[in-house]
Structure formats: structure tokens, C-alpha cells
Amino acid sequence: MAEIPKSSIRAVGYQAGQVVKLGVPICISMAALIGLGVTDTVMAGFASTIDLAALGIGANVYFIAIMLLIGLQSIVAPRIAWRLGSNNGDGVRNDCWQAIWIGLLSGSLAAVVVYCGLPFLYLLKLEADVQSVARQYLLIVLLTLPMVGMNMAVRNTIDGLGLPSLNMWISMVAFLLNGVLDYLFVFGRFGFPQLGALGCAIATFAVVVLQTITPVIICQRHRLIKEYRIFQSIGWPDIHTMKVLVVLGFPAALSVTMEESFFASTSILVAPMGTTALATHQVVLTIAMVSLVFPISMGQSAAILIGQSLGRQQADVAGVQAKALLLTVFVLMALAGIGIILSRDIVMTLFTRDQAVIILGATLLSIVAVQLLVDGMQIGSNIALKGFQDTLIPAACQIFSYWIIGFPLAWALTRTSWFGEPGGVQSVWLALFASLSVAGVLGVSRLLFVSREFAFGRRQLAAAALDSSHTQ
């Protein structure tokens, strides 16, 4: 076996530049997508505290379903990149179509589950008005879930082909459209009905329709994509390929769903603390989510680059790209934390005029500023691992961190006297910090271990092995 080239500081620096170069349009795209939720939160917050609290519950439930679909499809981009690196054009088209079928089926199933769960909102012990608005919000947005499943398949295909700037422009247009529709329907401007948080649901529906149709048109007309003939005809279901994608994608979907349900469960713990605490918690979660656009986008960028390197049989380069990702995320999240510390009071005023919410939120943001560093490292690492098509162990590590450590600790701090008097929303965020720290250590360790295993030839892509067994 040939000697593995050592990864010099210069090599890591160069690959960090490549990660950032590819990651910037992904970052802008992610910021625009996350901005949809931020816009909804801001608009609902200025409408009323009831609308803000209802959106906090409804949007969290919807977001869990969305993240399930995103997680399931998250393996598509690095797999497409692997196909691209190995010059397998037919594989690109087939993988995209099978991901579309998976998205439509899983999105429909998610919509049914959300609908069946609506009668159980009363268990959250919400105020009557908050519960009513949250239920109506969910009745509207659940209709978008099959479309989300489909458009995530196509968007990931475009990213995997190394063209994330196309998705960036789609996301930016969607962000602007959402803002306009929110303004018209939340506040009832220019003759439109004043619907409060329900206006956000209508805006979401319109935006998802745009996000579903536009990528398909781009794939048909863009000169660098149309050669793959993705939508020249229908790609009928291929059970084997769908199985491979589900085997690889399900752990990622489970991981991201358990992560988002963990964060949503913190809202359940906070709900009995009052509308002010719940509204503050929602705003701070939104701010933290915006900050995480950096590790998400850079992790996706690294996963695509790693997939391409493995497709070209350059496992040593993939290892350097993994280290470059860790360096990039560390620097970005340290800067983000410093920015939040210096501007926490100003940031809170962007979301609400309620002085009690502003004061409490500024306190929580002091915890978030430190938490972002460990959270960013674990997110970036686990996304980058998808480039190695390693999803099962990372999912187990995250579930352990969130549900064996995080939620029990949050429950104990707020519902028992085991650590003294039961705490408020601050205790919930301290538990979040503890669980994310564990997840960060496990995620970084796993990424370094797997990249080294590939570099020394002790591991191969799971998808390659499955494809090989299918052709034999």
C-alpha cells in the first residue's frame, strides 16, 4: 500500500478555502431558508404575543416534519457528488428520481402523522387562543410536506453537481416572496385579510410551491444539468436504489428528527412557565438557528467535496477536507458567538417590543453565544460524515447526547428539586449546552476517525458496496 501523504498546514488551508468557496452560496441559500422562519417570527411577534406563542408551537411541529424530510434527503447531495466524481451520469439521473419518489412518499406520510397529532395539542396546556391558532396553522402547512420532500431531492441533486448558486437564487426569491406575503396577510395590508400567524401559513404554502416548481425548470434548461436528462422522462421507482438511499438516509433523518424534536420538547417544558417565557424561548431558538447556518452550509460543502474526492479514489484528499471543515467551523462559530455577546440587546428588539421578553432573551443569549461553538462543531462534523456516507454511528451519538443526557437533565432541572429549586427557562438552556457539548466531542472524534480509516484503505463507501452487490 502506498504511503499516505501527510496533510500539511498549507493543504488544510487550501481545502478550507475550497470549503468556503463552495459553502458561501450554500450559506446564503440556507440563510434565506432559515430567514423564512425568522420573518414569520418577527411578523407574528409584532402582531401579538398570542400569535407569536402559537407560531412557536405550530412552527416547531412543522419544523420537525421538515427536518425529517431534509435528513432523509441529505445523503443525496454527497451521493450525487460521488457519482459526479466517478463520471456516472446515468447514476445521477437515477439517484435523483429515486430520491423524488422517496420524498413524495415520506412527505405524504409526515402530513398524515401531523394531522393525526392535532387532537393532542391540548396536552401542552396552552391558552385556548394559542391552541386554536396553532392548530389552524398546522392544518395549512401540512399540505406542503409532500412538495417539500420532492423539492429537497431536486435541490440536493443540484448541490451535488457543484452548482449551489442556483439554489441560492431560488432561496433568495422565496425569502422575498415570503416577506411580502407575510406583510399582506399577517397585518391585512392593501385589502388582504388580517390573519396574524395564519398569514404566515399561507405565505409558507405559496413559497413551497415556488421552491418545488423552479428547480425542475432549472434542471430542464440549465446547460450544465440538462445533459443528465433528469426530467426528459419519468424515472420509475427502482427498489434497489431506493433501498440504498433509505438505508443511508434514514439514520440521518432519525438523527435530525430526534435533534429537532429535542429542541421542540424544550418548548413543551417551557410552555407551563407562561407566555412570556415561551415567546422568549422561541425568539432565542430562532436566533440560534440563524447562527447555525454557518456550520450547516460548510458541513454540506465539505460533504460534497469529500464525495467528489472519494468518487475520484482520492481518500487522502477527503481526509484533508474533513480537517479543513473543522478549522473553518471553529473560526466562524467563535466569531458568531462574539457577535451575539456584543449585540444581544439590540438583536432581541428586532423580534419583539415586549420589554420582559427582551430582558429575559438577552440573558439566554449569553448562554447561546458559548453554546454555538460546540453546537457548530457537532453539526458540521455530522454533515461532513455524510460525504463518507457514514450515518448510523453519528445518529446514535446524537440521540445519546440529546435524549439520554439533554432532555432528562432539562426535565430534572425544571421539574424536580434534585439540584435545588426547580429552575426556569435558563435551566433549559444550560441543559442544552451540556448535551450539545457531548454531541460536539463525539461528532468531531467520529469525523477524524472515519477520515483516517478511509485514508488507510480500511473502509469503503457503504453505497459502493451495496451497488456492487446489486450488480453481481
Domain ranges of the chain: 10-466
Q: Give percent of the chain above pLDDT 90.
A: 50
Arithmetic mean of pLDDT, 131-137: 86
pLDDT digits (tens, 9 = 90+) for 297-328: 999 999 999 999 998 989 999 999 999 999 99
Residue 264 has pLDDT above 80, yes or no: no
Give 469's pLDDT tier (boundaries 50, 70, 90).
Answer: very low
pLDDT digits (tens, 9 = 90+) for 410-436: 999 988 888 778 788 888 889 999 999
Average pLDDT over the chain, rounded to whole? 87
* Distance separating alpha carbons of residues 439 and 443, to the nearest angstrom: 6
Give 152's pLDDT tier (boundaries 50, 70, 90).
Answer: very high
Residue of 67 and 407 predicted with greater confidence:
407
- The Cα-based distances of 152 to 294, 299, 413 in angstroms read 19, 17, 38
**What phi, psi does 199 have (nearest 5°)?**
-65, -35
Give pLDDT, residue 21. 94
HEC per residue, 351-412 = CCCCHHHHHHHHHHHHHHHHHHHHHHHHHHHHHHHHHHCCCHHHHHHHHHHHHHHHHHHHHH
Give pLDDT, residue 467. 56
* Distance separating alpha carbons of residues 141 and 202, to the nearest angstrom: 8
pLDDT digits (tens, 9 = 90+) for 317-376: 999 999 999 999 999 999 999 998 888 888 888 877 788 888 888 888 888 888 999 999
Give pLDDT, residue 113. 93
pLDDT digits (tens, 9 = 90+) for 171-222: 999 999 999 999 999 899 988 888 888 899 999 999 999 999 999 999 999 9
Nearest by Cα to 258 from 106, 74, 403, 113 = 403
Nearest by Cα to 34 from 237, 171, 140, 226 = 171
Residue in the structure block whose three cell numbers are 401579538:
48
Q: Calculate the CA 26 to chain-centre distance.
A: 12
In this prediction the pTM is 0.84
Give 1's pLDDT tier (boundaries 50, 70, 90).
Answer: very low
Residue 471 has pLDDT above 80, yes or no: no
* Distance separating alpha carbons of residues 356 and 322, to the nearest angstrom: 43
Q: Give percent of the chain above pLDDT 70.
A: 95
* Distance separating alpha carbons of residues 267 and 425, to the nearest angstrom: 9
Residue 122 has pLDDT above 50, yes or no: yes
Residue 263 has pLDDT above 90, yes or no: no
